Amino acid sequence: MAKRSASALSGFARYESFFSAPPSLVLEWHDDRTPAKGWVAINALKGGAAGGGTRMRPGGTRDEAVFLAKTMQVKFNVCGPAIGGGKSVIDFNPAQYAMDQGAKPGTPAFGREVHKIKTDVLQRWYRHVSPLLKSCYGTGGDVGVDERADVIPITRKTIALHHPQEGIVRGHFPKFTAAQFAKSMKQLNEGVLAEVDLHDLQLAEHWTVADVATGWGVVCSLAAYYKARGETLAGKRVIIEGFGAVGGFTAYYLHQMGAKTVAASSAGGGKDRRGLRIAADGDGLDVLKLLALREGTALPSPAADSSVRENVTPEDLFAVKADIFVPAALSHTISARTIELLGKSGVQVLSCGSNNPFQVPPPDASGHIAPLGQLVAHMLKLQRVADREFAIIPDFVANCGMARTFHYLMVPGNKPTGEAVLADIKRTIDKAVKALVPNAAASRNGLLERGYDLFIQ
């Protein structure tokens, strides 16, 4: 029997076909000065280009880069431009490496040394992938790599990029005149770092589009979902996994819309980020206080806020009653046990702030990772169960805020202001959620499979 084409498949079958297929290119790199190793995966050079951020974390893998590249490609089908997906993943822990070299945690010198080590590794990485970044691949921030503090200044200094998205503009818009290209670069540089007014969260530094875009998009997806159901976010109870750039600003904008964050988690504080912190309050957390007291992207210490507990277990996050769960930490954190705990907590809606949130099988005793098809099958099994239990707003919709920002700013003539960018993100996500949930009578369940049917092309 002839194999059906991807276009003839629907839902989860389309997901399995797309995510199991090998990518067009994977480039592997081994640093010659540290144990760091990395991969840039290009799922396809669709439309002459591919895009996806750079992440750095201990335990990063080749398949992680491939999965994320594929997710980016689906995301571009939601938010544009019509290009392929890419992703860079670097397996490295700069803090651990600094300690291995004799640096002492808890001192100002340690923080400076960690920053230098991380910067040096990123400089060598961007030099290695510079031919792609200058012709067809655009990147940005991700887990462990900050758009504003790391990607923009390092790529500008090290390989003279006008902006980290330059490769997409060159590859996807080859007919741009010199004036149009210059305008696009100017808008990207201004718009990504455009100031956003958070009047009730006035800390030492001003907030930018790069800080808030993804968290804003997650909340827009939830607001659009409840609007389609004839409800609002006001009074909804939310559990958030992760309190960094995505989770923290998800909590902020939920607070603005009248929802209550009743529990949140993060890695531990300090330079080595060991352990787990959970803040919980059934009456609603003081989100503004928690954000003001964060240690980097970690929740404050128990000494700074009594709602925070330290050295707890991940399961403790789900000990409170809630309506919504937002995974906004690393990929692959939702297990069968997580699904069970979410059901017991009363959660009905998931908005996937992290990419590829469903778990994959761990490496075996020898450290070998299962083949790509087995990883997909494992995730698919969990997704089928979760899609029957909850209304799931997929990652390629909820997490598309920054990708949409880049596309909007690439087009000469668009306004590079914080207000204009956030309004455009909202319009884009509203449209995607409207396709997922066309009216109040639409089924609450099955959104994930419907999303694959709509947006995997």
What confidence tens digit (pLDDT) does each residue in 228-286 have? Answer: 999 999 999 999 999 998 999 999 999 999 999 999 999 876 544 557 999 999 999 99
Closest CA to 55 of 125, 157, 134, 132: 125
Contacts for 105-113: CB closer than 8 Å, 24+ residues apart: 105/270, 105/271, 105/272, 106/270, 106/271, 110/271, 111/271
pLDDT band at residue 432 under the 50/70/90 scheme: very high
Whole-structure pTM over 0.85, yes or no? yes
Q: Are 138 and 167 in contact (CB under 8 A)?
A: yes
Q: Could you count the other beta carbons within 10 Å of the beta carbon of residue 413?
A: 8
Q: Please give the pLDDT value at position 331.
A: 87
CA-to-CA dists, residue 317 to 67, 263, 444, angstroms = 27, 6, 24
β partners of residue 280: 263
What confidence tens digit (pLDDT) does each residue in 334-378 have? Answer: 999 999 999 999 999 999 999 889 998 887 777 777 888 888 999
Residue 3 has pLDDT above 50, yes or no: no
Q: Please give the pLDDT value at position 2.
A: 36
Closest CA to 324 of 381, 265, 259: 259
Please name each of the domains of the chain with its CATH number.
21-175 (3.40.50.10860), 207-455 (3.40.50.720)
What confidence tens digit (pLDDT) does each residue in 437-455 have? Answer: 998 888 889 999 999 999 9
